[in-house]
Structure 1
């Protein structure tokens, strides 16, 4: 718990929660035209926990005091994380992200649900992706999307396996070489 609290203190999570920032450090860009897309307006009755508690307890209390606001922040961070779009990036970059990632997620989920995966590999995949998603949802998404990078190779591998299930791909060993 001591190590966890020491780590959490370095991120200033409660400041991001209080401001409604979905991406770390967006408060520096308040007034820019993209700022409203990367933060939520805190409710007037926002209740902040006492700073005398450890950061971990403060986070839990914040969630308990402000469940709906925290939930909206959590979902917003996950959307930014998985869609990998930003209003300050070019429209072409954002379109390419969506065109590449959404089909990849679909194909990866299709394969995960197919039952053709070893249970330990399935568990590893779900936990690995889940821990990254929960970390971003609870903490904060980064402006450049670097937290998505560690899971993309796994997503693309699973998507490739999902793509191989479509009938227009021959099963291994059924194609003869002439």
Structure 2
């Protein structure tokens, strides 16, 4: 399977690259940021600091950006082993192979290995974090702390991981009936609520969330879907959380309408500007893994694990974030949670296989 994976990567992507790597709209920002770090300067967009440091590591050793691509392919390989082992633990070897097949041959994920963009590193880091949480041992705590901090620093979506992780931790403690630790965690969260509030305000201001909701439309850069979406903007907005809540209150109906449409495009990943073949490819995969993921959620037994609770909350919060902001032009943002659906689909596929075997035995 891995031979087919590396072979397909070469056939579809590597041989088409002129410089050994591909660049996107934000690539220049990361490259310039890495150069500033090497010159002991702070980059302009600190919310991408993790990826800039990652590129700076290669530049420090005078390695060109092709080696960034090589490393991203290798990280995807390592993450595929992790996702396979997670799926085996939650289901069986059959479910693991199915999950691994979805992950390795879902080209919308694999294509980002070859770009100087944050996607591959962010996706792999989330999988690594879930792996060490699901296979938790005390000796993994330093690794978990490092992965958590690093993943948060890769791109602005890291703030969703912060919220998801702390909420998952509180739920996990409560389910374990450790009331002392539960109330201690609640107290800690209350103490940290103010700095968290400040960070959230900085994020809202940095990303200009209010403006994005009003002007980004359903799909970023695709205005044809925006008919009827007329938001009322206030001149008194301070760009903070309170102003955002007032904005949502004043535009409740329009917001709910746009919210549902954004989630639809976010999860299905189809786009009006994609070719028919591209959309058909995505629809076929959606038909394969979404029903199985839902069945897998129902069949999954170890729902009280911290890693599993985090998996659920990441899916929920990433989806809701898209509903609050926009579904991106090239459907990259939904890729951050697509492997999590693959894990659940592996559990569902295993459950379906067992159901089939029971049916034939009964027959």
Q: Is the 8 A contact 2:216 2:326 kept in 1?
A: no
**CA shift at 1:170, angstroms?**
5.4
Query: Normalising by structure 2, what TM-score?
Result: 0.40
Aligned to 2:243: 58
Q: Is the 8 A contact 1:83 1:102 kept in 2?
A: no
| 1:48 to 1:74, Cα distance in 2 relative to 1, 3 A | same
Q: Alignment partner for residue 13 of structure 1, among 209, 224, 230?
A: 209
Query: Could you say which structure has the greater relative contact order, defined with CA pairs below 8 angstroms and 6 or more residues apart?
Result: 1
**CA shift at 1:115, angstroms?**
4.6
CA distance in 1, matches of 2:332, 2:352: 31
CA distance in 1, matches of 2:203, 2:218: 20
CA distance in 2, matches of 1:117, 1:76: 33
Structure 2: 5+ residue stretches without partners: 1-196, 359-363
**CA shift at 1:114, angstroms?**
2.0
| 1:118 to 1:52, Cα distance in 2 relative to 1, 3 A | closer
2:351 aligned with 1:165? yes
CA distance in 2, matches of 1:70, 1:52: 17
> Computing the radius of gyration over CA atoms, which structure comes out larger, 1 or 2?
2
Aligned to 1:108: 293
CA distance in 2, matches of 1:51, 1:103: 48
| 1:71 to 1:20, Cα distance in 2 relative to 1, 3 A | farther
**CA shift at 1:127, angstroms?**
0.6
Deviations 1:96-154 (CA, angstroms, capped at 9, x unpaired): 11110233111111111125233225422211111111111112221111111121111
2:234 aligned with 1:49? yes
| 1:123 to 1:106, Cα distance in 2 relative to 1, 3 A | same
CA distance in 2, matches of 1:102, 1:62: 37
CA distance in 2, matches of 1:52, 1:61: 9
CA distance in 2, matches of 1:21, 1:167: 42
Structure 1: 5+ residue stretches without partners: 30-34, 172-178
Q: Which 4+ stretches in 1 moved above 6 angstroms?
A: none
2:272 aligned with 1:87? yes
2:342 aligned with 1:156? yes
What RMSD over aligned residues (CA atoms) do the two structures have, in Å? 2.3
